[in-house]
Amino acid sequence: MKISAKKNGPVVIILDEKKKIKIKKEKGEEERDLQVIALCRCGASQDKPFCDGKHKEINFVGEEIELEI
């Protein structure tokens, strides 16, 4: 698994294989089959906790970080 915070962008988690991910929100629960997960860190996404690209519109600034697990 690899986790990275992209420069001026989301936190990206790359899993070794596709997995069923359960997401619990106030509106209920959903499942998605994912291998790459992009999580919002700018706070502007309309699909939280996932990134929807709003960081580009609001000129979010954040440093790049990489972790390998």
pLDDT digits over 15-44, tens only?
999 999 999 888 899 999 999 999 999 999
The stretch 42-67 carries a mean pLDDT of 96
Mean pLDDT of 43-56: 95
- CATH number, position 59: 3.40.5.90
Number of domains into which the chain is organized? 1
- Maximum pairwise Cα distance, the chain: 33
Q: What is the mean pLDDT of the chain?
A: 95
d(CA 18, CA 38): 14
Domain with 29, as residue range(s), is 2-68
Which pLDDT value is given to residue 26? 84
Report, as an integer, the average pLDDT of 1-10.
97
Average pLDDT over residues 60-68: 95
Which candidate, 56, 21, 24, 52, places its Cα nearest to that of 39?
52
